[in-house]
Chains A and B, each alone.
Chain A
Amino acid sequence: MKAFAALVAREVRLAWTGGGLWLPVIFYLAVATLFPFVTGPDKALLARTGGGILWIAALLATLLPIERLILPDRQAGILDQLVMRGWSDESVATAKIIGQIFAFALPLLLATVVGSALIGLPEAQLGTLLLGLALALPALSGLSVTIAALTAGLSGASALGGLLLVPITIPLLIFGAGTLSENPGNAMQLLAATALAIIALSPFAAGAALRAGRT
């Protein structure tokens, strides 16, 4: 258990020192800042569409850490050393996903408070938006680790990662956008169900990809 905690802590530390923590947050806030430049300062329009924009920005921000999640560890032999110590690929993937929840999902959730203020989202919507993203961001963390494991070492890995991630996140996005409607209850339940399924499956998918990528 101590070793597992050390591995999770390592993930958070790598994100903190390698820019993996701040880059998605800055990107996320930059999108929120840029959007009003395009639409103009129409408060009603921003209030109606702002939540959706933050959802899209969160999905796109998920792409940023993908390249640094698995490939550097594989190249440095860290993954080999963990396997030799009896770690299953699924446990390694789980530690990486939990690390991503701390290093990516939580900071983005906090940035949402700032982002919604920048975009002028009505306060009443903020709670729903935060709840929706709190459900979706851990699932996005799982997906980013899975896709990082699938594409590590392939040429054009980052572009391929984007192509893979965007279609998979469509259910999260549809239900997530649904929670921003006047009656978010059903959409929130479906979002929670989808997110839970993704969180439960991603350690196995990422673990299988790690195993398949070993040479």
Chain B
Amino acid sequence: MSSRQAPLPSISVDNVAVIRGNRLVLRGLTVTARSGDIIWVRGANGCGKSTLLRLIAGLLYATAGSIKAEGRIALADENLALDANLTVEKALMFWADMDGASADAQSAALADMDLQGLAQVPVRFLSTGQRKRASIARVLSSKADIWLLDEPYNGLDSASCARLDQAIMTHAAAGGIVLVAAHQPPSINVAHSLILDRPEADA
């Protein structure tokens, strides 16, 4: 039984430094996240919040240090990653096909983000907040263990924020890990908040 069970998701960022465009963005950063953790990543503009999420997602390489992530990762950042000409449902279906996710998971994600009424609307006609909800629905239906959410509350109305909070708590309760990079504190209990400073400021 136990041999078939997937290992619990975890993230281990150890003493990482990142230089981007001759600028030290992250220095000596160590982060550990275990199954069930919700981490609020905060800090001033340009302190490396998005960089940290992209590092964990494997989209950037660290200049020094090591990053290990166990489990499937999903990222929602400022890029929607949905085809603008497709309907919300079909655009999400493309990623469901890529992930081998079921149609049920997709309809559940649409319902969680209150997008059923917009399922047949082309993505290009969505408002900013609706786009954000669609990109979060992509994360929800991916069945990934680790969610990396970059400014997920931007553009969301209070009802949608509550829905997102609910989804984050459900995911963490089911053993997932959520990293939320945001300026405003999430209204949910976070395991710990990670404050990034500007390495150049005190250099």
Contact = CB atoms under 8 A, between A and B. Distances in A.
Contacts of A75: 79
Contact of A10 (B59, B60, B75, B94): B94
B97 A84 contact: no
B98 interface: yes
A120 B67 CA distance: 64
A6 B79 contact: no
Contacts of B74: 84
B80 to A, nearest CB: 6
Interface residues of A, number: 19
Nearest to A80: B59
A190 interface: no
Contact of B79 (A2, A17, A77, A214): A77
A77 B80 contact: yes
A78 B82 CA distance: 7
A29 B85 CA distance: 28
Contacts of B83: 10, 14, 76, 78
B82 A6 contact: no
A80 B81 contact: yes
Contact of A84 (B75, B80, B82, B100): B75
Interface in B63-110: 73-75, 77, 79-85, 94-95, 97-100
B85 A17 contact: yes
A214 to B, nearest CB: 6
A80 B98 contact: no
Contacts of A81: 75, 81, 95, 98
A80 B60 CA distance: 10
Contacts of A80: 57, 59, 75, 79, 81
Given A6-B97, A83-B59, A85-B98, A76 B82 contact: yes
Nearest to A78: B81
A107 interface: no
B28 interface: no
A154 interface: no
A14 B84 CA distance: 10
Nearest to A83: B59
B79 A84 contact: no
A80 B74 CA distance: 11
Interface string A1-33: 011001100100010011000000000000000
Contacts of B81: 76-78, 80-81
A7 B58 CA distance: 21
Contacts of B99: 85
A78 B73 CA distance: 15
Contacts of B95: 81
A99 B121 CA distance: 26
A80 B76 CA distance: 11
Contact of A83 (B58, B77, B80, B97): B58
Given A17-B85, A80-B79, A82-B98, 20 more contacts: A2-B97, A2-B100, A3-B100, A6-B94, A7-B98, A75-B79, A76-B81, A76-B84, A77-B80, A77-B81, A80-B75, A80-B81, A81-B75, A81-B81, A81-B95, A84-B58, A84-B74, A84-B75, A85-B99, A214-B60
10 contacts: A3-B100, A6-B94, A10-B94, A75-B79, A76-B82, A80-B57, A81-B95, A83-B58, A84-B59, A214-B59
Interface of B: 57-60, 73-75, 77, 79-85, 94-95, 97-100
Interface of A: 2-3, 6-7, 10, 14, 17-18, 75-78, 80-85, 214
The 10 closest A-B CB pairs, nearest first, are A77-B79, A77-B81, A6-B97, A81-B81, A3-B98, A84-B57, A17-B85, A78-B81, A80-B59, A76-B79
